[in-house]
Amino acid sequence: MFDISAELEQILKTMRAFVDEELIPLEADFLANGFTAVEPRLREKRQKVKALGLWLPQIPQAYGGLGLSLFAHGLVSRELGRTPLGHYAFNCQAPDAGNMEILIEHGTPEQKETFLMPLLRGEVRSCFSMTEPEHAGSNPVMMSTTAVKEGDSYIIDGHKWFTSAADGAAFAVVMAVTDPHHDNKYARASQIIVPLDTAGFELVRNIPVMGERGDGWASHAEVRYHEVRVPQSYLLGAEGAGFAIAQQRLGPGRIHHCMRWLGISERAFDLMCRYACQRELTPGKSLAEQGTIQAWVAECRAEMNAATLMVLDTAVKIDKQGQYAARDDISLIKFHVAGVLQRVLDRALQVHGGLGMTDDTPIAWWYRHERAARIYDGPDEVHKWSVARRILDGYR
């Protein structure tokens, strides 16, 4: 059904081996002590990735990347998703990957030189600052953060949270209202680059996620902008184009997310099957001999296979026709694959029993952090409503 070249097969094989041999051995320290504990060793791994010629798989070759199609990068994302450290090691992690794409498409030459190139080289990290605690994230036109012109500057005031990876980032791409009275509510906000060493920026805290306070790249920050002054030249794209630019990144971004989730599912499935075969329920009889476990194994395999085909089909459609032609497919994979991920993780944790509740495997870490898959980039319910309305409109 899908044409995978010999070159892409080799890339995937090399990445798979790298994940197994170089990254999974770092997981125990990461799970126990956080991102900062493994960051020095990750810098060494990143140099190895560069030496292998696999740096920036999703970025055009003109900017130093592999220039993979959305379909090909989806397969890459599944391989790298098998460990929490995979995407970071190859410099295709959120939120940096999305910010790279925005800067490539909409950045000025000065913005590219100042912000994009260090990001591509892996010298700095970035964050994306959009969600606000005072407003529903599922309705992004409700936003209180403002950017008011004064002279040749914007003065930004506002309160954001889940500004992921802000801890230690060099700059943020901030969504702020620049024209609150525009007739089109989708043309009221803009995207503006804010260096995080600018006076008035405050990192309030790294938000605990189900009891765990992340650090560095693996964190979700609450931040405030107190009369933060940046040049108007830091505006990304046209004024009022903030939502249009955000939409451009969402379709491809959901392919990345869904295939990463399937990589997580594959790893959890592998751990589940191995443990079921090793763990004795009674002397001489393993968990794998139980009918319930066998049903879970079959159901997980079927759901993962079907979800993979759905996502890859959507990626091909976007590659060939653009994301507007695939908007129903994008919504369908977003909520469907998130549900598959939750079910696979839950079954894997259940099979591991008490061990599954610990951080001796990555299952519990994913169980905590990936519950958010059904919330970010549009809650399940919003995707279901929107796609159902479009389907039913065809019958009306």
pLDDT at res. 324: 87
Q: Is the pLDDT of residue 140 over 80?
A: no
Determine contact, residues 183/229, Cβ cutoff 8 Å.
no
> Residue 114: inside a domain, yes or no?
no
Residues with Cβ within 8 Å of 204's Cβ and at least 6 positions away in sequence, in order, are 221, 222, 223, 224
Closest CA to 243 of 194, 180, 166, 177: 177
Q: Please report the pLDDT score of residue 74 as a whole number.
A: 97
H helices within 34-179, ranges in order? 35-52, 70-80, 86-89, 96-106, 109-111, 117-121
Whole-number Å distance between alpha carbons of 379 and 138: 7
Answer yes or no: is pLDDT of 386 > 90: yes
Beta strand 171-177 pairing with 126-129: parallel
User: Is 267 found in the same domain as 222?
Assistant: no
Per residue in 194-235, pLDDT (tens digit) is 999 999 999 999 999 999 989 999 999 999 999 999 999 999
Query: Average pLDDT, stretch 243-260?
Result: 90
Q: Per residue in 34-49, pLDDT tens?
A: 999 999 999 999 999 9
3-state helix, strand, coil in the chain (%, to 5): 55, 15, 25
- Do 354 and 321 lie in a common domain? yes
Q: Are residues 140 and 33 in the same domain?
A: no
Q: Are 372 and 342 in contact, with CB atoms under 8 Å apart?
A: no
Question: Based on the domain organization, do 214 and 254 belong to the same domain?
Answer: no
- Please give the structure tokens belonging to residue 290: 């139980």
Structural domain boundaries enclosing 86: 6-93
* Structural domain includes residue 103: no
Query: Does 304 lie in the same domain as 194?
Result: no
In the numeric block, which tokens belong to residue 268?
A: 């959890």
**Structural domains in the chain (count):** 3
Contact residues for 280 (Cβ-Cβ < 8 A; gap 6+): 286, 287
* Entry pTM: 0.95
The stretch 115-130 carries a mean pLDDT of 98
Q: Is residue 262 part of a domain?
A: yes
One domain, residues 251 and 374: yes
Domain boundary (185, 208, 236) is at 236
Determine contact, residues 65/57, Cβ cutoff 8 Å.
yes
Per DSSP, the three-state class of 116 is: helix
For strand 189-195 and strand 171-177, is the pairing parallel, antiparallel, or unpaired? Answer: antiparallel
Residue 201 backbone zone (phi > 0: left; psi -120 to 50: alpha; other: beta): beta
Whether 249 and 322 map to the same domain: the answer is: yes
pLDDT at 189 over 70: yes
Question: Phi and psi for 304 in degrees, rounded to 5?
Answer: -65, -40
Residue 3, pLDDT > 90, answer no
Residue 1 has pLDDT above 70, yes or no: no
Domain boundary among 202, 236, 270: 236
Q: CA 185: distance to chain centroid?
A: 27
- 75 and 55 co-located in one domain: yes
Q: How confident is the model at residue 357 (pLDDT cuts 50, 70, 90)?
A: very high
